[in-house]
Structure 1
Amino acid sequence: MVTIVKYQQNDDINENGDILVNSISTYILSRKKIRENLKSKNNLKVIVSKKYANYYLDFEENKNVKVEERKKIMMNLTSLSLSKNIIKDLLYVKNKEKEEQNQLKKRYLEFQEDYPSEFLNILEKTSLDEFFEFFLEGLIFSKYKEYNFNILMENNPLKNFYKFFQNKIFEQTFIENYNLLLGIIEKINAKLKRTEKKIQMFNEFQMDKFLGDISGYLNFEKEFYIKNVLEELNLRVNYMEIKGYIELLTEKFQGNYEDILVFLEELKEAKELHGKSLENIEEWIKYYRDIYVKYNGEFYRETIEEKIKSIEKKYGANLNYLKESYKKIYLDMNEKFQNYYFENYGNIYNISNKRCLDSLLIESKKYIEKKKTLYLFIDCLRYDLWLNIKNDLKVKGFHCQNDDMAISGIPTVTKYCKKMLYSGKKYNQELNRDNQKNFIEVFQNRNIKEIKNIDELGDNIEGDIFLYEILDIDKIFHSIKDLDRDYIYLTLKSKLDKIFENITPEKFNLVIMTDHGALKLYNENLKSINFKNGDYEIENHGRYIRIYSNFYNEKKYLETKESFKECKEFYTISREEMLKYSLPLMEGLKENYFFLIYKNGYFPKATGEYNHGGISLEEVMIPFGIFTNEVPKYKDISIEIQENILEANKISDFKILLKNENQLNNVTIFLQFQKYKNTFEQIKGNKIITIPLNLEERDGSLKDNLIIEFEVMGEIKNLKFPVEIQVKENKGKKLSKKLKESRSLL
C-alpha cells in the first residue's frame, strides 16, 4: 500500500523508508518508488510539500494508493512562528538574518493557502523588503477611490489587488505597528507628493470630500488639507465653518491642531464689531481696549497680521488676501473713528468728561494726598506700549489704582495737548502760559519741584510733588524706520529702571501721563500732500497743518475756505469752528486761518514710519495711570438674570449681567450642561453675557450651572452660579405644523 500525505510539516523526518518530497529530485524519486511499490505491493509513505501536492493525481485514482490530507495547516505556520496575517509575518521574517529569512519565506509559501496564488507568486519572485513596500503602498492607497488607486499603483506589481487590500485585519495590524513602519510610510508619502498632479482631488480641492477620499496615514495628505483649508480663509468669512473642517482633521489624523483652532477664534474676535456703528466714546474706548489693541497692538503682543504670517509659515499656506482684509478692517475702523471723533469732538471734550486731558491732573489729586508723588510725563506713549510697562511697575511694587483710558485732543501734537494736560484747561484758555507754570498752578499750596536730572530723585528728597519728563520716545517714533518692538520697549524700560533705582513705592506714589500716541504709516496707503500758498505761513508738523498769517484778510480767507470744500485729504477746521475744537483764532501776533487734519492714508511730508497729529485710535487713545503701593482688593462677583425665557427649537439669547468691580483676566464662562463655552481676555466692570441657545421643547424649566473661571490679582478663581431657564413653545413652528396638518386633511 502507498500512502501519499499532504502536506509536509516542519517536524516531518525521513524514517522507515518514507520519502519527503520538497524538491524536483525527491519528486522524481518518489514517482519511481511509487511505481515499484505498486508492483511489489510493499508499504510506502510519501510526504509531499504543498508545491508538489497536485502532481500525484494519476496515482491517486489507484485503489492501492491512499491519500491523507492534513487539515491543521496552522500548526505548521505556528511552528514557524508565523500566522495568517501577512503584515505580522513579514515583520517577523524581516527581523531575521538573511539566510533564515529565505528559509522562512520558502516554508511560508509552501504552507500559506489563504492568499491568491498570483499574490504569492509575486512574493516568491520579489525580495522581502521590496515586497513589503509594495504591500504597504497597496494597503495605504486602497483607502482611495479605485481609479486613484490604479494611478498611484501604476508601477506596483500588486496593483490588481484593490479589494484584497481592504481587509480590516490588515489595517488593524498596520495601525498597531505604525511606528515600526515609519521609514516605508515616508517613502510612500514621497511617492504621493510626486504623483499628486495626476490625482484629480489634489488639483480640484473639495473641502467637504477630501478627508473621506484619503488614507489618513500620510503627512502630505494632512499638510495638503490644512494648507488648502486655511487658504479658504482668503475667500470665506465664516471662520467657524473652517474651524469645523479643522476639527474633522483631528478625527482623521493623530495630532494637535489647537494652534489653528485658537487662531480661528482670534480671527473671529478680531473682526468683531467691524461694520457696526459704535455710538459713543465709551463704546469706542471699550472696542479699542478689548479688541483693537489685543489684535493690532504691535508694541504689546503679536498682532493679528503677525499671527497670520506665523500660521502661513508653519503650514505653507498663502494668506495674503486674509492679511490685507484685516489690515483693511483696522483702516476702516480708524476711518469710522476719525469721522466720529472729528464730528463729535465738541460734545466729547466737555467739562464733565473726566477722560479728557484737561481733567486728568485734577482727577489724580484724590489718590496722592498722603505721600510724595512723582508725575512722570512720557511724550508719545502709545497705549499698547504702556501695557508692558504697567506690568513691569507691578513687579516693582507700584500697583495701578486708576487704570483707565484717556483721550487726546485735536490735533494730537505736544504743542496743544501737553498744554491742556498741564493746565487742566482747554488750549485756547491758557494760550500763552508756560506748561510748568500751569502744572504748578494746578497743585497750588503744594511743594512742587521739577526734576531735570533723575539722580536728584530719592526717597528722602524734600518736596511733595515732582515732575519729570521723558521726551525722546517721540523722537524715536519720528526718526526710526522698521522700528523694532523690543527696541522701543527696552529703551523706555531702561529709563524707568533708572528712576526706580532711586525711589520706592513705600515712599512715593506715581502718576504716568502722556499727551498723544502715534500711528504706524503703511507705505502702500500713503499719499504725500504739500499745501503751498504764498499768501500764508505754514506750520507743518506730522499729520496736521496750521495755516496762519501776520494779519487777517476776510476775502482771502473766504476764497481759501471755498477751495477746501471738495478736499478729500483732510478735515478742515475753519475760524468759525476753532472754538468747538478749543483752538485759538490768534497765537501771539499771528492770525490762524485754518487747521488741516490729515485723514488716514495721507501725510503732509516725508516722515518716519510712525507719526501723529491726526485722528486715529492709536493717536487719540492714551494711558493715564495712578500707582501706589496698595494692592487692589478683590470684590465679590454676582450675577443677575436679564433674559431667561427662551423660545424652543430656535436660537434664543440667554442674557446674564455679570456684576463685577474687578479687573478679570483670562476669563472663561461655561454653561455646564449645555456645553456652552466662551473666553474673554479681560473683563473690567459689569458686563452683559449673551449666550445663544437652541433648546428643545420640554415640560417646565431647565436647570444648569454657570461656571466662571478667571485670573484676578495673580490668583485663579472658579465661581459656580445655579441658573434656571424657562423654555416656551415656538409659536411659529406650531403654526407651521398646524398648517401642514390642515393641508394633509384636504
Structure 2
Amino acid sequence: MSNINILWVDDEIDILKPHILFLEKKGYTVSTCNNGADAIDMCDENNYDIIFLDENMPGLSGLETLVKIKSKRPNIPVVMITKSEEEYIMDDAIGNKIADYLIKPVNPHQILLSLKKNLDHSRLISEKTTSNYQQEFRKIAMDLAMVNSYSEWIDIYKKLVYWELELENISDSGMIEILESQKQEANTLFFKFIKKNYADWIYNDDHEPILSNTLFKNVILPEVKKSKGTLLVIIDNLRYDQFYILEQTITKYYKKEEEISYFSILPTATQYARNAIFSGLMPLEMEQKHPNYWKNDTDEGGKNLHEEDFLRAQLNRLRENLKLAYYKITNLKSGKQLADNFNSIKENDLTVIVYNFVDMLSHAKTEMEVIKELASDDKAYRSLSNSWFKNSPLLEIIQKAQNLGLKLIITTDHGTINTKTPSKVIGDKNISSNLRYKTGRSLSYEDKEVFAVKNPKEIGLPSISINSSFIFAKEDLFFAYPNNFNHFVKYYKNTYQHGGISLEEMIIPCAIFVPK
C-alpha cells in the first residue's frame, strides 16, 4: 500500500486535510492541488495510481480536466467527486470512463472503499456481495451518526456481524479492512453510549434492555413454563458471529422460533455475568442476599461454584417448582458421559448445561502457541469454534434433545474481543487481575481510555474494600502494568479477552428453538 500514489484535486483542498491525514495514516502517499490546470501539469510529471477530482472548480471544471487527463493518461482511474446529482454531469463523467462517482460530503471510509475497489485488482470477489455491502456501508455510516438507543445498537451490531460473515467468503482483504474500520468506529461510539446510559439501566425496570440478571425471569422462564421439557445450553464466552456459525449446524435438527439480543452486565466476565443469569440478581444483591455463595475478585476459591444454588434460589424466590437438572461440562470426558446418559433427563422440566469449551479456547490462545496459530484472527477463531462444535458431545446432546422433543434455548454469558492496544494502569497489590476491567483502591489510569465508576453501587457492583472503584476498558484495549510493560504487551496482544465494553462482549444472543 505504501507504493500507492494519489492525486487529490479540489479547490477547497485545505478543508480536506483530515481525509488526507486519514489516508496517509493508512500508508497512502497523497499529493494535492486546487485547480485543474495544475492537476494536468502534475500528471505530466508524475505517475499517479488514482486521482480524486472535484467536479465543481473555478477555471477548468472537473469534467474538462478529466477529458485532458484521460487524453494523456487513459488508463489512470479517476474518481469524480461532486455536490451535484444532475444527470447530465453523471452521464458525461461516466462517458469519459471515470472509475467511480462520489457525492459530497464524502467521509474518509468512502474514500478508502473507493481506493480498495479500484486498486485491489488481485481479489476474487463476488460482485453481488461487494455491491450489496457498498450500498449497506453508507447506510450503516448514517445509522452510526444517529444511533441513540440500545435497540438501534443491537440492529447495527447484527448488521456488522452479518457483513463480517458475508465478506469472509471472499478473498479481498481490502473489503475486510473497510469493515474492520467501520467496526472500530462503531465501538468508539458504543463505548460513549454505554458510559452515558449504563447506570440508568440498572435500577430502571421500565426502560432498560434485557440484562444478564433479568434474562431468566423475562425470557427463559416463560418458555420453560409453556413447554413439556426444555434444554437450556449456556456456552461460555460465545460471540454473536460464533453463534451464527454454530446455528447453521443446529438448524439441521431444530427450527429457530425466536432470537432475543440482550446485554451482558459489566464486568463482562463469567463470575459476574453468568452468576447474574442464574441468580436473577446484580452482583451487589448476590453479595447481600447470598454471602455464602458470592465471592469477589480478591477472595480465595472458585468464583462460579454455586450456579445451581443461585438458580434454585431464584426459582424459590419466583415461587416456581420445576424439576431441574444442572450440568457443567469442562472437558471431553464429562461431555461424553452426559451425551451417553442424556435420555435419563427426559422427565425434567428444565435441564441446564453450562458448556465451557469456547472460554477454554480463548484462554488457550493466550497460553499456547499452536492455538495462536490456529485462531490468529476472528475468521480463524470462528472456524476453530465451528470445527469443535461439529465434533463435540454437545452436538450429540442437541440431537438427542431433538429426539426427545425438547425445546432448546441457546445463550451465553458474555462475548469476547481480540485485544490489540495496551492501556497503562497502576494499582495496589490487591488490584484484580482481569485485563479488560480492574477493581481495587488507588487505581491510576488514562481517563479517556476507561469507563471509571468511583461508587460501584451505582451500577449494582460490590466494593472489595472501602474506596475501591471499577474501571472498564474501551474498544480493543487491554490493561498493562508499567513494570515489565513490553514483555506483558507482547504476551497479551492479539489475544481474546473479556470484561470490558465492546459490542462483541456486551451484545449477545439468546435463541429459542423447537424440534424439527
- CA deviations 1:353-397 (Å, max 9, x no partner) are 46111121122222223322111111111012112222322221x
Contact 1:229 1:242 in 2 (8 A): no
Q: Shift of residue 545 of structure 1?
A: 1.0
C-alpha deviations, 1:666-702, integer Å up to 9, x for none? xxxxxxxxxxxxxxxxxxxxxxxxxxxxxxxxxxxxx
* Secondary structure at the counterpart of residue 627 of structure 1: strand
Q: How far apart, CA to CA, are the structure 2 residues paired with 1:613 and 1:504?
A: 34
Q: For 2:310, which of 430, 433, 438 is the aligned residue? A: 438
The correspondence of residues 103-142 of structure 1 with structure 2, limited to 5 A, is none
Q: Return closer, same or farther for 1:244/1:408 CA change in 2, 3 Å cut-off.
A: closer
Distance 1:609 1:283 in 2: 29
Identify the residue that residue 167 of structure 2 maps to in structure 1. Answer: 302
The answer for the alignment partner of 1:420 in structure 2 is 276
- Choose from 343, 347, 369 the match for 2:196: 343
**Is 1:627 aligned to residue 513 of structure 2?**
yes
In 1, distance between residues paired with 2:201 and 2:101?
43
Residues 573-592 of structure 1: pairs in structure 2 closer than 5 A? 573-574=453-454, 577-586=455-464
Partner of 1:729: none
Shift of residue 507, structure 1, vs aligned partner: 1.9
Structure 2: distance between partners of 1:242 and 1:413: 36
How far off is 1:328 after superposition?
Answer: 4.4
Is the Cα–Cα contact under 8 Å of residues 354 and 360 in structure 1 kept in the other structure?
Answer: no
**Is 1:519 matched up with 2:417?**
yes
C-alpha separation in 2, matches of 1:389 and 1:629: 16
Q: CA RMSD in A?
A: 4.2
2:129, 2:221 → 1: CA distance? Answer: 46
1:593 CA drift (Å)? 0.8
The structure 2 residue matched to 1:500, chosen from 395, 398, 403, is: 398
Match of 1:393 in 2: 250
| Whole-angstrom distance in 1 between the partners of 2:447 and 2:404 | 56
Which stretch of the first structure deviates more once superposed, 414-423 or 206-215?
206-215
The whole-number CA distance in structure 1 between the counterparts of 2:128 and 2:258 is 36
Cα distance, 1:225 vs structure 2: 6.8
Q: 2:240 aligns with which of 374, 383, 390?
A: 383
Match of 1:288 among 145, 153, 157: 157
Q: Distance in 1 between matches of 2:339 and 2:355?
A: 14
Query: TM-score w.r.t. structure 2 length?
Result: 0.63
Cα deviation 1:581-604 (Å, max 9, x = unaligned):
110134xxx557111212235311
Match of 1:543 in 2: 436
Residues 466 and 474 from structure 1, CA distance in 2 versus in 1: closer, same or farther, beyond 3 angstroms? same
Match of 2:324 in 1: 448
Aligned length: 381
CA contact (8 A) 1:546 1:592 kept: no
Q: Is 1:528–1:604's contact at 8 Å kept on the other side of the alignment?
A: yes
Contact 2:100 / 2:114 at 8 angstroms: preserved in 1? no
User: Cα gap change, 1:470/1:346 in structure 2, threshold over 3 Å: closer, same or farther?
Assistant: same
| 1:611 corresponds to | 497
- Give 1:202 shift: 7.2
Distance 1:342 1:242 in 2: 30
Amino acid at match of 1:400: K
Kept after mapping to 2: 8 A contact 1:521/1:611: yes
| Contact 2:209 2:263 (C-alpha < 8 Å) held by counterparts | no
Aligned match of 1:269 = 139
Change (3 A) 1:338 1:201: closer
Q: Of residues 382, 407, 430 in structure 2, which corresponds to 1:509?
A: 407
Counterparts of 2:175 and 2:284 in 1: how far apart (Å)?
Answer: 51
Q: For the structure 1 residues 505 and 357, does the alpha-carbon distance in structure 2 shift closer, same or farther, using more than 3 Å as the test? A: farther
Query: What does the per-residue CA deviation read over 1:628-684, in whole Å, with 9 as the maximum and x for residues that have no partner?
Result: 237xxxxxxxxxxxxxxxxxxxxxxxxxxxxxxxxxxxxxxxxxxxxxxxxxxxxxx
Q: Is the 8 A contact 2:231 2:401 kept in 1?
A: no
Q: Quick one: distance in 1 between partners of 2:185 and 2:452?
A: 20
1:6-45 to 2 correspondences below 5 Å: none
Contact 2:150 2:209 (8 Å CA) reproduced:
no
Alignment of 1:177-326 (within 5 A): 229=99, 237=107, 261-276=131-146, 278-289=147-158, 291-295=159-163, 297=164, 300-302=165-167, 309=173, 323=177
Separation in 2, partners of 1:488, 1:598: 25
| SS of equivalent to 2:352 | strand
1:425 is paired with a residue whose SS is: coil
Distance in structure 1 (CA, Å) of the matches to 2:46 and 2:101: 16
CA contact (8 A) 1:377 1:468 kept: yes
State the structure with more CA Rg. 1
The one-letter code sitting in structure 2 at the alignment partner of 1:447 is: K
Distance 1:403 1:347 in 2: 25
Distance (whole Å) between structure 2 residues aligned to residue 425 and residue 242 of structure 1 = 46
Deviation at 1:532, TM superposition (A): 3.7
Contact 2:228 2:349 (8 Å CA) reproduced? yes
Q: 1:479 to 1:302 in 2, by over 3 A?
A: farther
Aligned partner of residue 376 in structure 1, secondary structure: strand
Give the Cα–Cα distance (whole angstroms) in 2 for the partners of residues 241 and 547 of structure 1: 45
**Aligned to 2:472, what secondary structure does the other structure show?**
strand
1:47-94 superposed Cα distances (whole Å, 9 cap, x missing partner):
xxxxxxxxxxxxxxxxxxxxxxxxxxxxxxxxxxxxxxxxxxxxxxxx
> Judging changes above 3 Å, is the alpha-carbon distance between structure 1 residues 335 and 261 closer, same or farther for their aligned structure 2 residues?
closer
In structure 2, stretches of 5+ residues that fail to align are 1-41, 54-62, 80-96, 118-125, 294-305, 366-371, 481-487
CA contact (8 A) 1:377 1:470 kept: yes
* SS of 1:341 mapped into structure 2: helix
* Cα distance in 2 for residues equivalent to 1:538 and 1:238: 41
Q: Which of the residues 213, 217, 222 maps onto 1:358? A: 213
Alpha-carbon contact 1:205-1:228 (below 8 Å) kept: no
Task: State the 1:221 CA deviation.
Answer: 6.4
Which residue identity lines up with residue 538 of structure 1 in the other structure?
I
Q: Are 1:361 and 1:442, in contact at CA under 8 Å, matched by a contact in 2?
A: no
| Greater relative contact order (CA < 8 Å, ≥ 6 in sequence) | 2
Separation (CA, whole Å) in 1 of partners of 2:401 and 2:184: 42
Residues of 1 paired with 2:403 and 2:64: CA distance?
63
Q: TM-score, normalised by structure 1?
A: 0.45
Contact 1:459 1:507 in 2 (8 A): no
1: CA distance between counterparts of 2:416 and 2:397? 24
Q: Does the residue aligned with 1:412 lie in a helix, a strand or coil? A: coil
Gaps of 5+ in 1: 1-196, 248-255, 313-322, 549-559, 631-746
Tell whether 2:468 aligns with 1:468.
no
8 Å contact from structure 2 (residues 423, 479) kept in 1 = yes
| AA at the equivalent of 1:615 | I
Aligned partners of 1:611 and 1:231: how far apart in 2?
Answer: 41
The CA deviation at 1:528 is: 4.0
Specify the SS of the correspondent of 2:512.
Answer: strand
